[in-house]
Amino acid sequence: MKKLLQLGDKYRWNLEGIEFAIEERVGKPSCFIGRVEELEYLYQWAGNIQNGISRSIAFLGRRKIGKSLILERLYNILYNEQKGLIPFYYEFTEGERSARDFYRDFTTRFYMQVIGYYTGDIRWIRRAADKKIRPVFEAILQEVDPLEFRHKAHILYELEDCRRMLQTDSPPYEYVISAVAAPHGFATHIGVEERVVQLLDEFQYLNMCINSGAEKKPCKAYMSVAESRVAPLLITGSLMGVVSEELMLYLPHRFSEIAVPKMNAAEAVEMTMNYGTLYGHQMLPEIAEYIVHITNGIPGRIVEILSPKIGKPRSTSINDVDQMLEFEVGTHGSIKNDWDEYLVSAMNAVNDVNMRKITYFLCKNEGTSYYPGELKKAMSLDIDDRQLRRELELLYKYDIISLDSGRYGGVFDRTLKKVLMKNYGEILNLPAGEFDAYFRNDNMLDYLKERVRLLELGRAEARELKKKLDKLQGEHNNLKGHYYEREMLLTLIRCIIDDKGGLVSGIHVTAFTPKLNCHLETGEEIDIVLEGEQAVVMAECKNYSTENLDKITTKMADDFADKARRLHTCFPNKELRLGFFSRHGFEKKVEQYLTKCGIAFKI
């Protein structure tokens, strides 16, 4: 099976040969645009599982950045390639559940996907990935019975074993340990050559929602399993702060952390144009660019802005986009609802007005970050230092603000600022009548700031490129010069072989030594020195372009003749013959001068 990860035009993927085992949340698979670098990277990582060199990865990125979609597409590609890598997708979900229930759910869904891989029947995968279905061992065992596929006996044995374990009364944490060990256990079973790639979405809910009894942190069950090279994990988490902290505390050095970046701007514009057209907006490229700027290129936010709703305008102008954004960050908007989940998780226990103010301030001053003391001063906060630190830590942990080397800043998704502006007016202190204008101006300002930043970046890059280009041009000219020297030397040698006389007359094929770039003691150089028995030929080669021929002067010819005569002392008793060549010829007066001096300029 050939590689199925194939990029087509305009950041679209070639979908030929892919059966969509997992139904992707993008809807129509052709709507998945871009994420080229990320997919190529993960595809290679998955490929290296076969070589036993891929470590587990934590793929951390904020809400709606497109993590799940990347996992789903990777799954479908690996599933279809059937290269001995069994993909296993599992999404940890919100809501309390017992360890025993988790065990049942996790193991059945795992074995259903293994069966789906071996039988090539995607219905198994569809059901295994469907959260509405509660898989039941008995039904699966019955269904498997008449089928024939690789490792059937072993899979049946494992399923029976799971069923037995469910009938025991094991401590909750035991269930978690057994569940998470299943994929590694399967891949190491004697006779199984396939390896497993575990794609585990929303990892934070493992600790938050599964009740594992006395052991409060069920993720610890991954301590040894996460080191598996035959069934490594690719986990995602949208609460980056939470997941990152928990990995550090409970699973140290088990995962390479990769921050999922926002979408590359060109990809995001393509994606916006595509969705815009599908949703029936009039989508000009400059409107798409504007949307990408105000959403910071976060694909989920782009879709939320573009998706039509009753009472929400359609886009024909930038003004409409502002209104669409205002709708989505307002009371019934999806962007607001999404951010509210974050805000609530961080703020329910503490002084939320303060924290909203801090968040808004940091968003507003996007690009600048502050040590806690600086922030207190800049915002004239009347707050105890310890309390301020505690609030900042909490906001960071729940991904509402960012932290870099002790300094706090706003998160890069600008829609948070809009949610705060729209819903917590007391922060802004703006009269209601002025809100609309303020909101629009704020968008435009962000847009222009970003454009200026890109232009500046572009200028710096252009300068850097120019430097590199000049250097390359110099090297290229040098090479061109050297190439011409070699060409002339070859011509001279051909003349010797053909016994053409002239500059090489009397020099025999069997008795000459050619040399290029011969150095004098002074460091000067003669391009070609061709030594025969009785004579030595020295030549200078010029490769000036036609418009620069006036730069080849008679003085150059004099300097060359002078160098050559000095070098001639190394060849006593041999006649000196001089050649001065130019690929594109000379000005008349130089030719006349060379003739007068007895220097050959043509062969």
Ligand X SMILES: Nc1ncnc2c1ncn2[C@@H]1O[C@H](COP(=O)(O)OP(=O)(O)OP(=O)(O)O)[C@@H](O)[C@H]1O
DSSP code string of 567-582: HHTTSTT-EEEEEEEE
Binding map of Mg ion across residues 467-506, x = CB under 5 A, - = no contact: ----------------------------------------
DSSP letters, 484-512, are HHHHHHHHHHHHHHTT--GGGTT--TTS-
Distance between CA atoms of residues 42 and 121, nearest Å = 25
Q: Which of residues 558-597 bind Mg ion (CB under 5 A)?
A: none
- Two structure tokens written together for 222: 């991954």
Which residues 6+ apart lie within 8 Å of 277 measured at CB?
283
For residue 271, the minimal CB distance to ligand X (Å) is 5
Q: In this chain, which stretch among 63-71, 131-139, 312-320, 545-553 interacts with Mg ion, using CB under 5 A?
A: 63-71
User: Do residues 507 and 496 make contact, with C-beta atoms less than 8 angstroms apart?
Assistant: yes
List the single partner that 109 binds among Mg ion, ligand X, none, CB under 5 to 8 Å by kind: none
241 class by beta-carbon count within 10 Å (0-12 exposed, 13-18 middle, 19+ buried): buried
336 binds, among Mg ion, ligand X, none (CB under 5 to 8 A by kind): none
Minimal distance in Å, beta carbon 474 to ligand X? 42
Least Cβ distance, residue 199 to ligand X (angstroms): 12
Q: Which stretch binds Mg ion (CB under 5 A): 1-9, 66-74, 185-193, 247-255?
A: 66-74
Indicate the residue among 227 and 245 with the shorter CB distance to ligand X: 245
Smallest gap, in angstroms, from Cβ of residue 257 to ligand X? 16
CB of 552 to ligand X, least distance (A): 58
DSSP string covering 429-489: T--GGGHHHHHHHHHHHHHHHHHHHHHHHHHHHHHHHHHHHHHHHHHHHHHHHHHHHHHHH
Contact 65, 298 (CB under 8 A): yes
Task: Report the C-alpha gap between 315 and 332 in whole angstroms.
Answer: 19
Residue 34 or 410 having the CB closest to ligand X: 34
> Based on CB atoms, which residue is closest to Mg ion, 60 or 489?
60
The 3-state DSSP class for residue 390 equals helix
- Three-class DSSP category at 274: helix
Q: Which is nearer to ligand X, 338 or 446 (CB)?
A: 338
**Pick 12 or 150: Cβ nearer ligand X:** 12
Least Å distance, CB 250 to ligand X, is 21
The structure tokens 């800049």 sit at: 378
Q: Which does 422 bind (CB under 5 to 8 A by kind): Mg ion, ligand X, none?
A: none
Closest separation in Å from C-beta 71 to Mg ion: 8
Least distance to Mg ion, CB of residue 201, Å: 6
Q: Which is nearer to Mg ion, 63 or 418 (CB)?
A: 63
Length of the chain: 603
| Helix pair angle (352-364, 334-347), 10° resolution | 120
Identify what 228 binds: Mg ion, ligand X, none; CB under 5 to 8 Å per kind.
none
Helix (H, G, I), strand (E, B) or coil at 539: strand
The residues pairing with 436 across neighbouring beta strands, listed in sequence order, are none
CB of 512 closer than 8 Å to CB of 470: no
63 is in the binding site of which of ligand X, Mg ion, none (Cβ under 5 to 8 A by kind)? ligand X
- Residue 237 binding result from Mg ion, ligand X, none, given CB thresholds of 5 to 8 Å by partner type: none
Chosen residue from 42, 43, 56, 68 binding Mg ion by CB under 5 A: 68
Task: Give 341 or 559: the residue with its C-beta nearer to Mg ion.
Answer: 341
Question: Cβ of 341: how many Cβ atoms within 10 Å?
Answer: 13
Nearer to Mg ion, 240 or 578 (CB): 240
Location of structure tokens 């290269």:
83
Binding site for ligand X (CB under 6 A): 25-26, 31-35, 61, 63-69, 238, 271, 299-300, 303
> Which residue's CB is nearer to ligand X, number 303 or number 599?
303
204 binds Mg ion (CB under 5 A): no
Q: Any residues with CB less than 8 A from the CB of 543 and at least 6 apart, and which?
A: 477, 480, 481, 483, 484, 582, 583
Measured distance CA(291)–CA(301) in Å, rounded: 9
> Closest separation between CB of residue 37 and ligand X, Å?
12
User: How many C-beta atoms lie closer than 10 Å to residue 14's C-beta?
Assistant: 12
Closest residue to Mg ion using C-beta atoms: 68
- Helical (H) or strand (E) element with 124: helix 122-129
Residue among 183 and 237 whose Cβ is closer to ligand X: 237
Closest CA to 115 of 94, 91, 146: 146
Please identify, using beta-carbon distances, which residue of 33 and 177 lies nearer to Mg ion: 33
Q: Residues 21-60 vs Mg ion: string with x where CB under 5 A?
A: ----------------------------------------
Paired residues of 529 in beta bridges: 515, 538
Note the Cα 238 to chain centre separation in Å: 18
Closest CA relative to residue 42, chosen from 256, 355, 293, 351: 256
Q: Look at strands 401-404 and 85-91 and give their pairing.
A: unpaired
Number of residues that bind Mg ion (CB under 5 A): 1
Selected range binding Mg ion among 68-76, 259-267, 268-276, 393-401, rule: CB under 5 A: 68-76
Q: Minimum Å distance from CB 146 to ligand X?
A: 37
Considering the complex, state which of residue 65 and residue 180 has its C-beta at the smaller distance from ligand X. Answer: 65
Least distance from C-beta 482 to ligand X, angstroms? 48
- Least Cβ distance, residue 443 to Mg ion (angstroms): 27
Instruction: Choose among ligand X, Mg ion, none what residue 61 binds, the Cβ cut-off being 5 to 8 Å by kind.
Output: ligand X
| Nearest CB to ligand X, comparing residues 64 and 104 | 64
Q: Which partner in ligand X, Mg ion, none is near 64 (CB below 5 to 8 A by kind)?
A: ligand X
Closest distance of CB 307 from ligand X, Å: 9
> What does the alpha-carbon distance between residue 225 and residue 300 come to, in Å, rounded to a whole number?
32
Q: Which does 184 bind (CB under 5 to 8 A by kind): ligand X, Mg ion, none?
A: none
- Interface with Mg ion (CB under 5 A): 68
